Amino acid sequence: MSEKHACRVLPEEAGVRLDKFLSTALPHLSRSRLQQLIEQGHITSGGKVVSNASKKTKAGEAYEIVEPEIKALDLTPANIALTIVFEDAHFLVIDKPAGMTVHPAPGAGQQTLVHALLAHCGDSLSGIGGVARPGIVHRIDKDTSGLLVVAKTDAAHQSLSAQLKARTLKRTYLCYGWGALNPRTGIIDAPLARHKLRRKQMAVIEDGKHAVTHYETLANYRAKGSITPFASKVTCQLETGRTHQIRVHMAHMKCPLIGDRTYGIPTQTQINKLRAAHIVMNEETLHLLTGFPRQALHAFKLALIHPVLGEEMAFSAVIPADLQALEHALVTLTNQA
């Protein structure tokens, strides 16, 4: 059933935008949702439909808001096991495995994170945007593993999205790349946009969107007697969150991610570089390094402010087995006689 709300403008609340006033009076509804309700004619004043979200309020005005019944999302929930790092009534933090797509898309089937969340959350989902669905606050690529936060209520979604925009929601990634970064610690400030020819790819473009990544090298892997690292272990913290940002920035810095088929280097080039670095390895190790099946990227830390309680919270994810095996191989080759 639909819900009805009423609120009146106090003298100290006069002169502000209507959508801002309503979002304060009705904190469970986001400003964007209220704008949507205004567009759909669900908000009235004095019996007349209000159509302008930016109109200034006047003291004494009364508004009636009808919140329509939440529509079910036209997807079939799927009983897929999830690794839940944290959950309460407002949001949850998921440790997503590599290979799982976040959002439904052509070819993704019914094994996406959204399908799994619909089954897991059931009736606890709120009407984000008027539709019962989990609020994906930020995404990670299908073949990237690790943490992402999901809102269960409209208010939580609004708060977490605002934190993401204000850069108080911190996301730190662990990655392994070919070569080394110079300097070992620094900031990559390189704008990103769609590649002008390969439209499914991103690229560093002078007039692209602002994109900043903070990085720190944790380890360089080099053969005995060599001064040139053949690979590196790096943490990257996103200041902005552009599509494929870390993958493109690492490639731009001549340290492309191991296993990245889109922005990495060809397999034969990898083999040639290993041989040039005088790396001796068996076929199994060679295949592990040059045939790693995904980009070696893992979202392993997440920090945020609880959207309702206001408490600072931090989460971490274990390093998945495939990346542990990759690091073991790199350390072994570094320590070889």
Which residues are part of the catalytic machinery? 141
CA-CA distance, 285 to 331, in Å (whole number)?
12
**Structure tokens belonging to residue 231:** 């690979």
Residue 252 CA to residue 211 CA, distance in Å, equals 12
Cα–Cα dist 114/101, whole Å: 9
- Output 109-114 pairs: Cβ under 8 A, ≥24 positions apart: 110/75, 110/76, 110/78, 111/78, 111/80, 112/78, 113/82, 114/75
Neighbours of 301 (CB within 10 A): 18
